Structure 1
Amino acid sequence: MTSTMNLGKQELMDSAQASMRSKLAVQDWTDREKLALTCRALYDEGHNSGLAGQISARGDAPATFLTQRLGLGFDEITSDNLLLVDEDLNVLEGDGMANPANRFHSWVYRARPDVNCIIHTHPLHVAALSMLEVPLVVSQMDIAPLYDDCAFLKDWPGVPVGNEEGEIISAALGDKRAILLAHHGQLVVGATIEEACSLAHLIERAARLQLLAMSAGEIAPLPPRLAREAHDWTLSPRRSVANFQYYARRALRHHPDAI
């Protein structure tokens, strides 16, 4: 006999979260492996733009982070060719140099102790939307993790290799997990690599949906209470882990050399 048909929505949500924590299978990867798999997964989803874009994750030592080597595309990143750098982008481990644009990562990490991973890319639909100088509009359930969690920088500060750009971008991001950069691209941050990877996938989908919807008519807003509920439900840590596990498995099928 059923025992859940009379339960309220919140009770069912709490029960489902508990089941996800105990029953979802998780493959254990190192941070280097997670970063490499994220690069390959995002490459497959159109986040490649030549050598543009950076991914980073905090290192074990304070004021250090892992990032990719300048000169390699996202489809060439492996767990072995990542660099460990300090705030000034001096290479502590690995060969080559970091992208000079990684400087604004240092500013974000300083401003946001809660952030452990940063992903900045120029995917096609995000880049197209950025040219219109309009904020991201979240009005569909799949992209609810970005609801009221995506900032907007309308004034393009130019190539982000100076400290000025780091100050501007980190201030504009504020306490959000994402930001649409006009005439530029996107930036997402996460408490974990898994969370940032999930948000990077979603923001490109969100931009594509918005462009399609704008071409057909006026976008209707979500009811705020339900949108916040969906945001919290779809952005729970275990959901981010499950999303990442799928993206990583798919990336490994296409790119077995990543790790």
Structure 2
Amino acid sequence: MTTDRDDLVDQLIDAGRQLVERGLVQASGGNLSARLPGTDRFLVTASGTWLDRLEPGDLSEVTLDGDHVAGDQRPSVEWKLHQRTYLVRPDVASVVHLHPQHVLLVDMLGAPIRFTTLDHQFYVGSVGRVPFHPSGSEEIADAAAEAARGHNAVVLAHHGCSALGDTVSMALRRALNLEEAAMMTYRLLVVGDTTSDFPREWRGRIIEV
């Protein structure tokens, strides 16, 4: 019989494989985490791990106070980003942090990401943004957490993004839809379209997909 921890480990391993296969992160970039139900702890991928090669031993267990308590001794350099997000969003059970190409391209062009389809609206709908801060710094962790108060996805300028969810699956779906929305936005910009968007009267009224 598997435990909640074993199940979460399997979900993170599967999410990592999918994200690399879809090109949302390269090599040892990006990091994933999940809360351990009923505790003040979360699992986060270890520093230097490749998300498509994750094994159970590649996860660190950290408390919301920032103490390493089990697993790999070197949690991701971005562990504070996950920790601070969990502190301000008790409803969030998983954080997916990636470096997707189109999200960054659109942001560098100074354009907002347009959530033009039903899926984009349902799974993401809006995105926060923070200016560039060094990776692993207190500044990026605090800024990302502050942006997460009002959004389930956050763009980190010249760096990547975070997608949040009440499950690993939902965080993964949001990450995939955020990049797809950015890809569609970029293609619209390439052909000179700066106005096409989801019907305004239907925003915020999507019940299910």
What is the rounded CA distance, in whole Å, between the counterparts of 1:147 and 1:98 in structure 2?
28
Q: Secondary structure at the match of 1:30?
A: helix
Distance 2:66 2:27 in 1: 21
User: Match of 1:56, as an amino acid?
Assistant: S
Residue in structure 1 matching 2:93, options 100, 116, 129? 116
2:137 paired residue number: 162
Aligned-pair CA distance for 1:53: 1.4
Structure 1 residues 147, 113: CA separation in 2 closer, same or farther (over 3 Å shift)?
Answer: closer
Structure 2 partner of 1:137: 114
- Equivalence for 1:196: 171
Residue 52 of structure 1 is matched in structure 2 by 29
Q: CA deviation at 1:212?
A: 0.7
- Residue pairs, 1:179-190, within 5 angstroms: 179-190=154-165
Helix, strand or coil for the counterpart of 1:85? Answer: strand
- Corresponding residue of 2:196: 220
Maintained 8 Å contact 1:147/1:228: no
Residues 124, 177 of structure 2: 8 Å contact kept: no
Amino acid at match of 1:169: A
State the match for 2:129 in structure 1. Answer: 152
How far 1:80 sits from its partner (Å)?
A: 4.4
1:136–1:152 contact (8 Å) kept in structure 2 = no
Q: TM-score, normalised by structure 1?
A: 0.72
Which of 101, 109, 115 is residue 78 of structure 2 equivalent to?
101
Shift of 1:126: 1.7
Q: Is residue 85 of structure 1 aligned with residue 62 of structure 2?
A: yes
Say what the alpha-carbon RMSD is for the aligned residues: 2.1
Question: Which residue pairs with 2:153 in the alignment?
Answer: 178
1:160, 1:133 → 2: CA distance?
21
Deviation at 1:132, TM superposition (A): 1.9
Alignment CA distance shift 1:147-1:51 (3 Å): closer
More strand by share: 2
4+ residue runs over 6 A deviation: none
Looking at structure 1, the residues matched to 110 and 88 of structure 2 have their Cα atoms a distance apart, in angstroms, of 25
**Partner residue in 1 for 2:39:** 62
Structure 1: gaps (5+ residues): 1-27, 235-259
- Equivalent positions of 1:18-29 (< 5 A) are none
TM-score (norm 2): 0.87
Name the structure where helix makes up a greater proportion of residues: 1
Going from structure 1 to structure 2, the CA distance change for 1:147 and 1:187 (only over 3 Å counts) comes to: closer
Say which one has the larger Rg.
1
Alignment correspondent of 1:239: none
Matched, 1:208 2:183: yes
CA distance in 1, matches of 2:40, 2:189: 42
Q: Unaligned stretches of 5+ in structure 2?
A: none
The answer to whether the 8 A contact 1:133-1:182 is kept is no
Tell which deviates more after alignment, 140-149 or 75-84: 140-149
| Aligned-residue offset at 1:179 | 1.5
CA contact (8 A) 1:69 1:97 kept: yes
SS of residue matched to 1:221 = coil
